[in-house]
């Protein structure tokens, strides 16, 4: 083995220990703490920007300062890197069919820096003795920082408000999100730290072992408190796959018969307890941990109905665009065309992703893109099996097993959420892949690759330069849009418009909420009573997002005010094609038909409409239209009775328990 390693393309002489510490402290400990409250999404683009700066500095160091110790270019032949490069290429090619190409730039940038991160990390691992233990120690620190923030939020913001709801209608527990974008992102991030904290808790020594044990327990407690089903399933899969592989390969891992029996009892107990919890929890419909557990298998529980609906129409979208998809970053633009097929309501239209990374990739990049992405995963699992079956040291096999468990947890969460989008999750994903590449390379070194070192660094620096420029542009856009929203609420419309104009960039047209920048400009012009400018801005926004339902409604209003009744009707009807029950649009279209003297169609827009806050106004309009049409009082009363019964039947069908 020593002779084979001598021919490896990675420098065997260790890099400076300080380089490893600086790089991974920045990556694992500092990066998750980056938080810019001035942006719409306080963590996504800011962390991408910091990560690109870190990779740029590391590239300069390797090329200029560390020139005497060549980079392991041979790792470019690893199947994970090969599939990753082909997947990146497919992401770029998918933009040829995209409606909005600028929205694919985030996906391409994020994919490219993740791939480069895998390559650099694998090189660092191969050049640093004891890398896994050092990395796990840093992960313990990151875990303690993350749970400390979470516990602070839980004990300061939740007590006394448990029964209240946030402005978006979610439960109060959703304020516990660490420094992440939301609770689900926070819990899945904590779950992905488990393999590292558990490794140190088991293999560490002295105070590191005790600290890691405490961190592992705190992680587990926090994950119970935030009650995120995807993270729970992830933990189960991490534990189950680790135990199962340990049992199957117990001889390779030097596990005694007694240890194997103990593990079998543990796995069986966990499976039985989980199954019992799911079965028992399925009987409950009120909030609680058992209900949460049972809701995993209840399609009508919580957000399951919405998620399954999104999966269904995303699958239909993928079937309509099987080869190249709808283009990277364009799912949110294309999916409203399918809303009417599953009866999406107006409060359910703000989905940015389908909450399933595999369907997301399939719909945006077709079966070729999904096949290449799955190639990355299968290549990593192939390396894991080869490591476990090789003549590697027992310690290295256990490290590979922990990395495989972490990868399993990531793949599980990716089935229910969107770690594919989040920078923190991509960093951990890169660590799992790079770790397996390094361990595999120790046993099966790749032959040298004749690639010019200068060419590689030129390509890397050019890509990172683009990523740096894109990230700053996206950061600028989100910052100015958020400021403009605050100024609009304060009634300072001229300055709000100035902020919108400063937000414009050709590299990103939709904000973190999925709305075009011109959509906000149109709202400001409307407040300033400049209908012509509002109309022009709405049309510009429609070019970037043809299915933005609120923009279609606003565009219809602008056309109505300008006297373009035919165009106003066209945009209103297009909005109703997306969400037939959209209340604001139906009321506006009813007004349009009334002005045109078409009382029957005006009345039809209000019929069977659940009025909500505008109940009295809509009822007055109904009565006025009934009078204009000369409808008999008895028929009106019978129609209203049928309407009430229909609404009641719909409610009971949706929630048979009345909850």
What value does the mean pLDDT take over residues 109-117? Answer: 97
267 — pLDDT class (breaks 50, 70, 90): low
Residue 502, classed as helix, strand or coil, is helix
- The average pLDDT across 433-437 equals 97
Residue identified by tokens 């069977």 is: 608
Q: Which residues contact 201 (CB under 8 A, 6 or more apart)?
A: 209, 212, 213, 215, 216
Q: State the average pLDDT over residues 593-599.
A: 88
Torsion of CA 51, 429, 59, 37, to 10 degrees: 0
Tell me, what's the pLDDT at 525?
A: 96
Q: How confident is the model at residue 631 (pLDDT cuts 50, 70, 90)?
A: low
Q: What is the pLDDT of residue 4?
A: 40
* Band (15; pLDDT cuts 50, 70, 90): low
Q: What is the mean pLDDT of residues 47-62?
A: 93
Question: At residue 473, does pLDDT exceed 50?
Answer: yes
Are 119 and 10 contacting, i.e. CB atoms less than 8 angstroms apart? Answer: no
Average pLDDT, the chain: 84
**What pLDDT shows up at residue 56?**
95
In degrees, rounded to 5, the angle at the alpha carbon of residue 111 between the alpha carbons of residues 116 and 193 is 80
Confidence of residue 50 (pLDDT cuts 50, 70, 90): very high
Q: What is the average per-residue pLDDT within 20-43?
A: 94
Residue 616 pLDDT greater than 60, yes or no: yes
Look up residue 69 and give its DSSP letter. Answer: S
pLDDT at residue 270, as a whole number: 59
Is 60 exceeded by the pLDDT of residue 302? no
| pLDDT for residue 5 | 40
pLDDT for the residue 309? 86
| pLDDT exceeds cutoff 80 at 412 | yes
**491 phi-psi bin (left φ>0, alpha ψ -120 to 50, beta other):** left
For 341-356, the pLDDT digits (tens) are 888 777 677 778 899 9
The average pLDDT across 521-544 equals 95
Residue 121 · residue 196 · CB < 8 Å: no
pLDDT score at 1: 36
Q: Any idea which of 214-223, 264-273, 495-504, 540-549 has the lowest mean pLDDT?
A: 264-273
Considering the segment(s) 495-654 as one domain, its CATH architecture is Alpha Horseshoe (1.25)
**Range with the poorest average pLDDT among 41-55, 196-210, 497-511:** 196-210
177/174 Cα distance (integer angstroms): 7
DSSP character for 597? Answer: T
Measured at the CA of 23, the angle between CA 231 and CA 7, to 5 degrees, comes to: 100
pLDDT interval class at 224 (50, 70, 90): confident
Q: Is 16 exposed, middle or buried (0-12, 13-18, 19+ CB in 10 A)?
A: middle
Concatenating the DSSP letter of every residue in 257-322 gives HHHHHHHHHHHHHHHHHHHHHHHHHTT--SSSHHHHHHGGG-TTSTTHHHHHHHHHHHHHHHHHST
Q: Whole-prediction pTM value?
A: 0.88
Confidence of residue 209 (pLDDT cuts 50, 70, 90): very high
**pLDDT one-digit tens code per residue, 131-168:** 999 999 999 999 999 999 999 999 998 887 766 776 66
pLDDT level of residue 297 (50, 70, 90 thresholds): very low
Q: How far apart are CA 312 and CA 296, in angstroms?
A: 18
Coil, helix or strand for 510? strand
pLDDT score recorded for residue 654:
45
Work out the average pLDDT over 455-483.
Answer: 94
Mean pLDDT (whole number) for 172-199: 89
Every domain of the chain and the residues it spans = 2-451, 495-654
Contact 425/189 with Cβ under 8 angstroms?
A: yes
Q: What is the pLDDT of residue 284?
A: 47
Closest residue by Cα to residue 177 from 195, 142, 151:
151
User: For the ranges 50-54, 88-92, 430-434, 654-658, which has the lowest average pLDDT?
Assistant: 654-658
Lowest mean pLDDT among 20-29, 218-227, 443-452: 443-452
pLDDT of residue 496: 96
SS3 165: strand
pLDDT given at position 71: 67
Q: What percentage of the chain has pLDDT greater than the value 70?
A: 80
């Amino acid at each position: 083995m020593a002779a084979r390693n001598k021919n490896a393309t990675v420098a065997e002489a260790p890099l400076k220990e300080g380089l490893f510490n600086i790089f991974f402290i920045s990556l694992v400990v500092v990066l998750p703490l980056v938080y810019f409250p001035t942006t719409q999404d306080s963590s996504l683009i800011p962390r991408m920007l910091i990560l690109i700066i870190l990779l740029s500095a590391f590239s300069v160091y390797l090329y200029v300062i560390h020139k005497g110790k060549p980079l392991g270019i041979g790792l470019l032949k690893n199947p994970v890197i090969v599939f990753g490069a082909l997947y990146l290429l497919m992401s770029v090619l998918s933009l040829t069919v995209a409606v909005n190409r600028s929205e694919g730039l985030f996906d391409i940038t994020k994919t490219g820096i993740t791939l480069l991160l895998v390559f650099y990390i694998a090189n660092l691992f191969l050049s640093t003795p004891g890398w896994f233990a050092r990395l796990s120690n840093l992960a313990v620190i990151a875990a303690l920082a993350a749970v400390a923030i979470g516990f602070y939020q839980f004990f300061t913001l939740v007590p006394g408000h448990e029964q209240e709801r946030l402005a978006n209608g979610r439960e109060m527990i959703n304020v516990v999100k660490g420094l992440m974008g939301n609770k689900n992102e926070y819990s899945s991030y904590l779950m992905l730290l488990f393999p590292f904290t558990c490794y140190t808790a088991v293999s560490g020594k002295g105070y590191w072992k005790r600290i890691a044990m405490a961190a592992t327990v705190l992680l587990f407690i926090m994950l119970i408190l935030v009650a995120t089903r995807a993270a729970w399933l992830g933990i189960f899969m991490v534990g189950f796959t680790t135990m199962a592989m340990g049992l199957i390969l117990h001889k390779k891992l030097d596990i005694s018969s007694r240890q194997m029996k103990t593990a079998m009892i543990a796995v069986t107990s966990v499976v039985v307890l989980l199954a019992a919890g799911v079965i028992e929890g399925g009987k409950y419909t009120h909030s609680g941990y058992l209900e949460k557990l049972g809701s995993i298998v209840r399609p009508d529980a919580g957000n399951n109905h919405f998620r399954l609906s999104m999966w269904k129409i995303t699958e239909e979208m993928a079937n309509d665009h099987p080869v190249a998809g709808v283009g990277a970053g364009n799912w949110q633009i294309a999916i409203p065309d399918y809303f009417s097929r599953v009866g999406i309501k107006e409060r359910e239209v703000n989905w940015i992703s389908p909450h399933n990374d595999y369907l997301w990739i399939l719909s945006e990049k077709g079966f070729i893109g999904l096949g290449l992405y799955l190639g990355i995963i299968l290549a990593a699992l192939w390396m894991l099996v080869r490591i476990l079956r090789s003549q590697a040291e027992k310690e290295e096999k256990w490290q590979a097993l922990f990395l495989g468990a972490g990868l399993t947890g990531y793949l599980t969460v990716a089935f229910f959420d969107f770690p594919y989008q989040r920078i923190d999750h991509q960093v951990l994903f890169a660590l799992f892949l790079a770790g397996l590449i390094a361990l595999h390379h120790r046993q099966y070194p790749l032959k040298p690759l004749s690639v010019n070192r200068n060419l590689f660094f030129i390509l890397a620096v050019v890509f990172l330069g683009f990523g740096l420029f894109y990230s700053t542009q996206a950061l600028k856009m989100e910052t100015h849009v958020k400021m403009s929203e605050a100024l609009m609420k304060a009634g300072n419309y001229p300055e709000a418009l100035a902020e919108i104009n400063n937000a414009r960039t050709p590299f990103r047209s939709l904000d973190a909420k999925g709305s075009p920048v011109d959509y906000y400009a149109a709202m400001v012009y409307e407040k300033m009573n400049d209908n012509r400018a509002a109309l022009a801005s709405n049309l510009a926004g429609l070019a970037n997002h043809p299915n933005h339902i609120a923009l279609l409604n606003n565009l219809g209003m602008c056309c109505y005010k300008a006297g373009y009744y035919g165009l106003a009707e066209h945009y209103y009807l297009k909005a109703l094609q997306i969400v037939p029950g959209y209340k604001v649009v139906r009321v506006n279209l009813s007004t349009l038909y009334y002005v045109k003297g078409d009382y029957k169609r005006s009345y039809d827009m209000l019929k069977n409409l659940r009025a909500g806050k505008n109940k009295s106004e809509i009822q007055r309009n109904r009565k006025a239209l009934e009078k204009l049409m000369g409808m008999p009082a008895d028929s009106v009363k019978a129609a209203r009775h049928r309407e009430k019964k229909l609404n009641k039947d719909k409610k009971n069908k949706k929630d048979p328990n009345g909850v």
